[in-house]
Structure 1
Amino acid sequence: MENSFPIFSTAILLFFILDPLGNVPLLLSILKNIDKKRHATIIVREMVIGLVILLIFLFFGEHFLSLFHLQTEAITIAGGIIFFVIALKMIFPNSDGSDLFATTKGDEPLVVPIAMPMIAGPAALATLLVLAKTNAEHTSELFASLLLAWLLSAMVLLFSTQLYKILKTKGLKALERLMGMLLLIMSVQMFIDGIRSLLPTFA
């Protein structure tokens, strides 16, 4: 077998694109009003949902986009808008003192925003579409790479709850604001990239 597919290096690439380390402050912020005993269950559930979405895009992404007459750029622009809204809520919390995605007791996030766009984000979905197109003969290896990257990401996010002991409330708020600024910059860049990719089609 001459053309061997680089499973490990592709997994590392996907791991960086999934960016679990960068998502830790956002995850902690989302879960901070929920019973700590539920954190692991919620993270596992959302990771599984995120994996399902990633797999759908890996195997059926191109068909999905063509079925609804959507372009890949639409994923980037939509993701940019979602991240923009999240970033604004992180930087400017509600006037009543509640922060980003404030929840009442027993109120848990479902699908949005952990499974999507945090795990199955626009960058990951777009990357899978490109990889699936350019490596059509290596679908099983791509699947293995995605699964490996997902497992590594799940481990990072599962251990993120331990950071509560180190960060405390003030540290978490500081990280939340910082992450908000980074997300704001990322969202604007995503939007610019999406528009820039669409411009040649209008020429």
Structure 2
Amino acid sequence: MTELVSLALIYFAVIDPIGTIPIFLSITERFDYKQKQRVALRGCAIAFFVLVFFGFFGDLILSHLKISSATFNIAGGAILFLISMEMVNGRRQARKSKAAENDQVAAEELIRISSSPLGVPLLAGPGAITSIMVFGDFTSVDKLVINLSSIFIALAASALLLYFAAWGSRFINLTISTVMSRLVGILLAAIAIQIILNGFNELGIISI
């Protein structure tokens, strides 16, 4: 039980749903709160399967493709940086306005945002995936149950936080939402650059 709690806390910390809340609200600003809740639940489910997959096969895949964890961090940071630029320039907001005019497009947008950027890389990001690969132990039935349970607990708690954050977003008007989207975009750009710099640091290209 102690190991289960410890692992769940570690995974919850590296998934960082609390820090993801403002980003989540910004990238779903054109959806109503029920749609945001569906995005939150689906995104956490996707993140669960991604993390479990990398827990089982991450080392094998990265070693086979000769990809280091540092390179993986750089790629994840680059993806987040592109997303942040869309937020700052308002392109995501314009796309969501079009989505709101068509139910089918809106449904596709829900699925897309649940998968990326929410599921990957915001929840199942380079840090979370690396942590699963480092701390995860799937070599025995007991270890398998403990690790799967700890990942599930961490993401279930994340889903609850995002679910209630979506409910609370009903009280945020369009002006506040638009301003928040730009500010969060800038913060996300800074986070992305830091992730990229950390990757370069691990490769020994720079020293920070």
* TM-score calculated relative to the size of structure 2: 0.81
Letter in 2 for 1:88: M
Whether 1:122 aligns to 2:122 is no
Contact 1:87 1:181 (8 Å CA) reproduced? yes
Shift of 1:166: 2.6
Q: Deviations over 1:83-135 (max 9, x none)?
A: 111112222224xxx627535133324221121112211111111112137x9
CA distance in 1, matches of 2:156, 2:130: 20
CA distance in 2, matches of 1:100, 1:142: 41
Aligned residues: percent identity?
Answer: 26
Letter in 2 for 1:192: L
Aligned residues: 193
Aligned partner of 2:13 among 4, 12, 16: 16
* TM-score calculated relative to the size of structure 1: 0.83
Aligned partner of 2:93 among 99, 103, 106: 99
What pairs with 1:1-203 in structure 2 (closer than 5 Å)? 6-94=3-91, 99=93, 102=96, 104=99, 105-106=102-103, 107=105, 108=109, 109-110=111-112, 111-132=115-136, 138-199=143-204
Answer with 102-111 or 50-59: which moved more. Answer: 102-111
CA distance in 1, matches of 2:89, 2:64: 38
Shift of 1:36: 4.2
CA distance in 2, matches of 1:179, 1:32: 12
CA distance in 2, matches of 1:100, 1:13: 37
Aligned in 2, Cα 1:27/1:54: closer, same or farther, shift over 3 Å?
A: same
CA distance in 2, matches of 1:9, 1:170: 41
Contact 1:11 1:149 (8 Å CA) reproduced? yes
CA distance in 1, matches of 2:166, 2:201: 38
Letter in 2 for 1:197: E
Unmatched runs of 5 consecutive residues or more in structure 1 = none
CA distance in 2, matches of 1:45, 1:66: 30
Answer with 159-168 or 146-155: which moved more. Answer: 159-168
Contact 2:26 2:180 (8 Å CA) reproduced? no
Q: Deviations over 1:146-194 (max 9, x none)?
A: 1110110011111122222332222222322232222111111111111
Aligned in 2, Cα 1:16/1:176: closer, same or farther, shift over 3 Å?
A: farther
Q: Deviations over 1:35-70 (max 9, x none)?
A: 544333333222212111010011211111122221
Contact 2:90 2:182 (8 Å CA) reproduced? no
Contact 1:18 1:119 (8 Å CA) reproduced? yes
SS of equivalent residue, structure 2 residue 170: helix
